[in-house]
Every structure is written in C-alpha cells, then in structure tokens.
Structure 1
Amino acid sequence: MPDHQGHRRLLFFIVAVLFVLTAGVVFVKVRFLDFSLNDRSSVFYQLDASVSFQAVPGQPVHLSLALPELTPGYYFSLVPEGKRNFQLTEEDGDRRAVLNLPPTSGRQTVNCRFRVVPGTVPEPVLPPPPEGFPVLPDATAAACDALLAKIDPGRRLPPEELVPVLLRELAAIPPAERKLLSGSRAGGEGTLAAAITVLERRGLHARLLRGISLDDRRLQQLPVDFLDLYFDGTWHVFRANTGKEGLPEGFLILQRGGKSLFELSGGTHSAVRYSVTRVPTGAVTLNRIRSRIIGERNFPNLTLFALPAGTQNMFQKLALLPLAILLIVVARNIVGIPTMGTFMPVLIAMAFLEMKLLPGIICFLLILTVGLAIRFWLSKLNLLMVPRISAVVVVVILLMQLISMVANGLQLRDFMAVTFFPLIIIAWTIERASTIWEEDGARNTLMQLGASLAIAAVCYLILSNSYLQYLLYTFSELNLAILGVILLLGTYTGYRVSELIRFQPLVKP
C-alpha cells in the first residue's frame, strides 16, 4: 500500500511538472519570441523549390531558377539554405537564383528556399515589348488564319470571349496540327504555346505565366501554366483548361514570358517541384536566439521550422493525433463507448481527411459490407486464420480498385482517394466484426461499428480544424499537457458513464 501511494504521488508530481513546463514555454513564446495564438496573423509562407537531376560525372553544375519580375501582394526574399546558398542575379529585368556546384555524380537534389510575406505590393502595368510580332513560317501562318476564320470569321469577338473559344478548339484538334502551331511542344504547355501563336497572329500580345498555389495542405506541387494576354491597357490572365479569366485565390506567380522556369548544365533528367508551408514569424526570432547560443556551425537546422516545407506539412497533419488519441481515451475509459479496435477510429479519420467525410463514410460502409459478406462465405471453407485474413486483404484491394474505376467514370474525384484507407486495419476490422457477430450477435457488432464510425467522424472534425492544427504545431509543447491528462486518466478506476446509465434501475427505490 505505501508503494502504491508513493507511485501515485510520483505520477501527480510528473503531471504537475508537465503542466508547468507547458505553461512556461507557451508564455515565453508569446511574450518574448513574437509567437501568436492567432493563426491568421504573424505568419509568412516558406517556399521550397526542390530541383532533382542526374549529375554528369566530371562536369560542374550550374543551376538557375527564374524568379518573378514582380509578385503582386507578396514580398519575396531568398533564405540561405545550408551550405548550398543561391545568389540573386538580375539581367534585363530577369531575376534569377543561381547556384554553382563542383563536379559530382549520381542523383542529386538541390533545395532553394524563399520567404513569401503577404503585403500590399502594387502591381504596375508593364506594357508589352515595343518590338513587333515574330514572323511565322508560311505553313504556321496559314494554319493560324484558317483557325481564326473558323472560330471568328468576322474578327468581331473581343479578346475575353475569343480566348475560351480558342482554347477549346485547340484542345479538340489533332496533335499533329497543334504541334504545327506550338513549335512541337506537347501537353498543356503545347496548347498554350499554340494559343499564343494564334493570338499574336491576331495582333494581340500574349505570354506564358507560371506559378503555384500557396496551399500548405499539399506536400508537393508542380508549376501550373496560365495564359497572360494584354488588351485594354493591362494584362489579363486566363486559365488553360477552361479559359476562365482571373487567377485563383492565393496564387503565387513565379515566372512570366517565354523564358525557362529553370536552367541546368552539368545534369540531365531534371525536374522541379515546389512545397509551401506557413511559418509563424516567431520562428525567425527563435532561430536567431538558437544561433547565438549553440552557434550556426554546430547545429544549423536544429529547429522544427527549418525542416523542408513538405515535411512540415506532414508534421502539421500529425500534430493533432495526440488530441484525437485523448478523445479515444475519454470515450473508452470515461464514457465507456466500445470501439472496434483501440485506435482504428483515428486511422479511419486520417483517411477521411483525404476523401472528405461523406465520401469516406460511404466508401468505408461499402467496403465493410462487402468484406463481411466475403468473410462469412470464407468461414464456411474452414480456412486457417492467416490465410483467411490474407484473402480478406486481397478482396479489400479489389474493392478499392473497383470503387476507383467507377468513381473515375462518374467523375467523382473524392471517391478516387479510397486508397488512403489503411488496408490491414480494415481487414482486421472485418475479421473482428465477423468474430463478434458469431459470438455476441449482430446487435453488438453493429453497435460497436456504429460507435467506431461516430468517434472516427469526431476525430475527423478535430484533425481537419485548421486553428487547432496551427496551435498544436506551433506550440508543440501543448502535447506535454495532453500527455499529462492521459496519465491522469490512466489512474481512473470509477464507473464509466455507460455503466452508470446501465445500472440506473438498480438505484431506484
């Protein structure tokens, strides 16, 4: 008994230390390091451009990344990144980040980091260059004239109406004819290049525009192409797939014109991808203090906010898992809700994040229903447990493929993310549900499945809350307080809420 009391006092002491440490660190961050509890203020975007290439042995590497001539609405600055520091250069208004590396070999990846701060940068209207339109070959000029005569015989369509019609027509013509207009470019870029050729033949200045979305929910992005057209004394942007005018909200322009997005010498098979994450401004102050204490040379990236943007986005998704786990502890140990597996609702909720809630619930119920039917049929074959579960896993994979194919045919994009469901967890859920069905009946099975699905939905609401995500990622020490609460709940030995409700008739006079 004395040992039990001593262990209990030690536990309370540890929990008190966790709470005090959490409160102290949060206070220091907010009071002295410029961290904010508001997720809409005091933040900036961290943009990582990751260039991968196969190095040519014995040749030095020269890499040049295009920067925008002007970024309306944002301040744009280069951040030193380890030992490979890019240098800003500007020539004839073309801003680029340049990096020179010694000869190397093998597959290489180089990261260039930028800081993008929202602001009120005005965008002056830069007129087109004074030189005239390029002279086209006779065959290309004839193809442009024929296409213009087809879509606008009287040349009366205004530019904002001409562009959507032109893009639809170019997407429908055979690739061989489109290559004549696009200079042998293929894909979406080829369609825009062909549109630029036709519009210049019409007497309109047009150019390519590339950029990315400032969306920290995606791990990596490829640059998206738009059409930039000059008329009525200003530039107008049109989307490549629909011809709709205007840029999406939160879009960052990286490059305008026909110049390359990046240039590389000394390497082959190159590609560039971008990742974006939101960083609190207090991280800069924290990094400056860390550098003064331990030195920049010893631990140059010893901070969570120095991780690659894609990795930070992944940790932001995981930041709310302790809170969801706390919900599971409360639901099982305090409320007394039985779930199908301890942490199965949390794993299913993470799949709901990729599919949205309603499509996720529909897919989960569909897979579970068909899987249970197959499992009951397999039980008649008297198979051993491991082969039986393995067969259920194969059936679940086939069901996911079927759902994805049907969703693709019906243009239901949310249902195509069914592959994010954890295969083994679903297979074990089907196995456990069938066992409970045989031992305790259908009623108990459906109650546990319904409770698991309800808790998964609540976990989804927690995991999808952007403010909670910002709070628990920026102030990750809050997880210490969550750990303290879980430790306290581990000492609870009283009645659960469900037991109080069940035994209520016994206490009535």
Structure 2
Amino acid sequence: MSNPSRIPFYAAVFLLMAAGIALAIWRHTELGIPWMAGEQKPIWMVEARIDFDAANKPVQASLNIPDQPPGFTILSEQAASPGYGFAIIETAGGGRRAEWTKRDAVGPQTLYFKAQFVPSERDAAGPGRKPKAQPAFWEEPQATAVKQVLNQARERSSTPESLTRELIRLLQPDSDNQNTLLLMSDSNRLPLLVKMLNSADIPARTADGLNLEDARRRQQLTPLLQIYNGEEWLTFDPKTGEQGVPESLLLWRQGADSLLDVVGGDNSRVSFSMIKQTIPALQLATLQAKSGSLGFLGFYELPIEEQSMFRLLLLLPLGALVVAFMRMLIGIKTSGTFMPVLIAVAFVQTALVPGLIAFIAIVSIGLLLRGYLSSLNLLLVSRISALIILVIFITAGMSILGYQMGFNTGMTVTFFPMVIIAWTIERMSILWEEEGVREVLTQGSGSLFVAVCAYLLMSLPISGHLTFNFPELHLVILGLILLMGQYTGYKLTELRRFSPMKAYD
C-alpha cells in the first residue's frame, strides 16, 4: 500500500509535467512552431496589379484588401508605387483598404500591392454585431414573381442554408420557369440573389474569391454569395449552390461596397498574380511570433548573441536528466555530482574526440602537478588557487601547441570551467591517496562515460530545437528528475552483488 503522504507530491509532479506539455502544445498551435526541425510549410505570394489612365489631376486609388480571410493568415503586406503616397485604411465597417494618393498624375499608371498568405486552420472572424437584412423594394410585375419564387423555395427548405441552395437552383439560367425568366431578364444573377435573400429576411452580400494556382498571372476574382445564418457568414457558389470555401480559394473581398475605386483616372482595372513558395516552418513561426502579440513568449526578440547563449544554457537540463538517471538508477560513479554536465557542454561547443583528448590531457597533467603541490604541505585554499593558475597555464599551452600544429583542439578547451576542473583534480588526488588508483579510474571513466551520453543527447538536432523553441518542456524534465529522486531501490550496477544468491534458488 502506497504511503498517503506522497500523494500530494505525485499530484504536484503530475500537474507540473501536464503544464509543460500543455504549454508546448499551445505554443505549437498558436504560434505554429513545428515539433520537428527542418519541417517545410507552403506560403503564397499574391500580387494585385492596378492599371488606369490618369486625367492630369489629383489621383486617389483605393483597393479592398483581405482582413483575416478564413483558412489563411496574413504574414506580410507591402506596396510598390513610386511617387505615390500609400496607407492602409481601416473602414467603418471593419474592413481594410489600400489607398494610393498623388497630387498630379497623367497617362497610364500602374500600382502594385503584394501580400504573403500562409494556409492555416483559423476560421473566419465573427461578424462583430449581428447584421440585419437590407430592405429591398420591388415593382410589379417583379414583386409578384419574387414572392412566388421565394414561396416555392421556402416549401423545399427549413434553414437559411437550404433556402439559399433552393433559390440558386430555381434561378438557373436554363430554367423554363416564367417567374425566373421575368426576374433575370434585366438583372445580373448574383445581385438578384442577394436582393431576394434580403427580401426573405436573410442577410446576404457579395464576396470575391481568388483561386490560388501556382505561377498564374493576370487572374480575376471569382464572385461569390454570402449569407448570415444567425451565427456566422456562409459562402456559396452562386452558380452551383455549393457551400463552403475550398482550400485553394482565398476570400479577397467580403462585404465591402466595391473592390476598386479610382478618383482622377479612367479605365481602371485590377488583376492578380500568384506564386507558391516553401520556407522552413520554424522561420515562418519566428516571423509570425515577431509580428504577433505573442512574440514576447519566446526568445526570438532577443539579440542574436543572447539567443546563442540561451541555446546552450537550455541544453543543461537534458544533461542533468542524464546524470540523475545514470547515478540514481544505473549507479555509475562520477567525480562530482554534475561535473559530467559541464564536460558535455564543452563537448557540444567543441567536438567529442578533441574534447575528450583535451580533458584527459588537462586532468592527467594536473594530477601530476597536484602530486608535487601535495609534497609542499600547502593549505587547501592555497593549493586550489595554485591549481587554478596551473590549469590556466596548461590550457594556454595546449592552445598554443594546437594552433602551431594546425589543430584547434587546444583552442576549444577554454570553454571548460577552469575552477571546476581544478576542484576535480583536487578531488581525484585526495581520492587517489585515500582509495587508490582503481577508484580514481572508476570515477574518472564514469564521469567521461556519463558526459559522452549527455553529449550524445544534447547534440541531437531535435534536442536543441525543442529546448529552445519549447522551453516549457523543461517542466517535464524537472518532473522526471523529481520522480527519480523518490527511487530508493537497488541500482542496476548493484544487482551483480546478489548474483551468487541465484545458486541457492
């Protein structure tokens, strides 16, 4: 039966680990940071080209631009318009328009607006306040025809969506219905649908979508129908009645009065070109984090030098996890508790083989010099201080020797913590005197083995990626270390002590 006093501890550890995992999932979902390094994501570069003829007077051109289109996230926006002033204007209805202005212009003019769109699972933004159906007035005989067509559609429907589909079906151009022929004789089909739906007390509006196809030029927008069903705006194809927005369709205009307005010019027209690109998902997430309100939750805003420092520091918990596992569960003896972690960090900065050679050389030479200092009967503080100075001299000598020989092995040992190495030499020397050479070799080789294991884990690309981009995962590492700290059973290396007992089974 488990000890009840440990239940709060296990509950706290579980909450700690759950919080780390939940925060990591939230960061992945909200900021788009990938779980794996090297993951690629598509991005669409869309360019709107505006052409018109200026009439030698002040010009003001206004283009409706997307605002939180469903299925896409706007990454960046820019305009190419030499000689023109440019601004993005928020309209009273909640939309956005790109506006170009110039005091005097004459002849053919060309303006460009470019935007990058990233496919996402984000839904369209809510309408804010509940829209109302616009009043519609009809004259006879259209009023009677509208009433009959709407009554026929109501009989075959029960919701705003089904009524819209039935109305689209009844207003097909090839219909032989007299009411349909009368209504569509002088009217465009899409404005007629919008007006009839508003007459049926269903808020309706027009929209424009852009079909995204790689490397296409001079494309036009596709007109669409939107209705409000009481909760959200729904999009329909006015020709087929198909509901929904395809993945390859970008809703460029929703609810705006016009797509393009030009004052001071004639023959205005707009066309679209697009190209599909792929960029690393991490780079994309970094750009989104910098431009969004959640950027402060990561390290991306820090200077590059500080980011490099944190990339190294955030690997230390992984090394601590390896040391805790090796010491508490496996039972490997090391020289010092977390000296292997510092050695592993040095190996990450350098390379495994050169780091091993440098560490063994420094400790070996240091042990020889420590033997001489021991014969002088110095006090502990004086002996350690002398060891630190000697370790620095050894490191400098190896650096110079390595450089003269054309290797950088000696140069990299400066990353080793000099004071810790000096204490390691002191501890090994005392251990040599008290326990003998065998214990020194056991703890020294154990330290190097654990350091190599920690290095192999810390040098994995996914380790650096997860620890830097998902720092909350360190809460999971902390929870695992706390759980291992509760283990009081036999270590793996101690089981061999009881192997002779098997003969009596």
* Contact in 2 for aligned 1:29/1:282 (Cα 8 Å): no
The aligned residue for residue 110 of structure 1 is none
The aligned residue for residue 441 of structure 1 is 436
Distance 1:363 1:17 in 2: 43
The aligned residue for residue 319 of structure 1 is 314
SS of the residue aligned with 1:491? coil
The aligned residue for residue 500 of structure 2 is 505
* Contact in 1 for aligned 2:33/2:282 (Cα 8 Å): no
Structure 2's unaligned 5+ residue stretches are 43-74, 84-115, 117-279
**Given the superposition, is the C-alpha separation of residues 32 and 416 from structure 1 closer, same or farther in structure 2, using an over 3 Å criterion?**
closer
* Number of residue equivalences: 275
The answer to whether structure 1 residue 469 and structure 2 residue 464 are counterparts is: yes
Q: What is the letter of the counterpart of residue 41 of structure 1? A: E
Output aligned runs, 1:360-439, within 5 Å.
Answer: 360-439=355-434
The aligned residue for residue 482 of structure 2 is 487
Alpha-carbon distance, 1:371 to partner? 0.7
The answer to whether structure 1 residue 290 and structure 2 residue 289 are counterparts is: no
| Aligned equivalent of 2:37, options 23, 36, 39 | 39
Q: What is the letter of the counterpart of residue 284 of structure 2? A: T
Alpha-carbon distance, 1:482 to partner? 0.8
Distance 1:89 1:456 in 2: 59
Structure 1 residues 287-320: Cα deviation after superposition (integer angstroms, max 9, x where no partner)? 66636xxxxxxxx856422111221121112222
Structure 1's unaligned 5+ residue stretches are 45-76, 80-87, 92-116, 118-276, 292-299
SS of the residue aligned with 1:305? coil
Q: What is the letter of the counterpart of residue 17 of structure 1? A: L
The aligned residue for residue 5 of structure 1 is 4
The answer to whether structure 1 residue 456 and structure 2 residue 451 are counterparts is: yes
The aligned residue for residue 348 of structure 1 is 343
Distance 1:355 1:36 in 2: 28
Distance 2:11 2:312 in 1: 31
Distance 1:407 1:278 in 2: 40
**Given the superposition, is the C-alpha separation of residues 34 and 302 from structure 1 closer, same or farther in structure 2, using an over 3 Å criterion?**
closer
* Contact in 1 for aligned 2:37/2:282 (Cα 8 Å): no
**Given the superposition, is the C-alpha separation of residues 394 and 496 from structure 1 closer, same or farther in structure 2, using an over 3 Å criterion?**
same
Supply the RMSD in Å over aligned alpha carbons: 3.1
* Contact in 1 for aligned 2:400/2:410 (Cα 8 Å): no
More off after superposition, 477-486 vs 458-467? 458-467
Alpha-carbon distance, 1:497 to partner? 0.7
Alpha-carbon distance, 1:431 to partner? 0.4
**Given the superposition, is the C-alpha separation of residues 285 and 10 from structure 1 closer, same or farther in structure 2, using an over 3 Å criterion?**
farther
Distance 2:281 2:458 in 1: 17
Alpha-carbon distance, 1:477 to partner? 1.4
Distance 1:403 1:395 in 2: 12
Alpha-carbon distance, 1:382 to partner? 1.1
SS of the residue aligned with 2:471? coil
Alpha-carbon distance, 1:466 to partner? 1.8
* Contact in 2 for aligned 1:36/1:42 (Cα 8 Å): no
| Aligned equivalent of 1:281, options 262, 280, 284 | 284
Distance 1:472 1:302 in 2: 14
Distance 2:30 2:369 in 1: 60
Distance 2:436 2:8 in 1: 44
Alpha-carbon distance, 1:37 to partner? 1.2
SS of the residue aligned with 1:494? coil
Distance 2:370 2:81 in 1: 65
* Contact in 1 for aligned 2:319/2:344 (Cα 8 Å): no
- In percent, how many aligned pairs have the same letter? 38
User: TM-score with structure 2 length normalisation?
Assistant: 0.50
User: TM-score with structure 1 length normalisation?
Assistant: 0.50
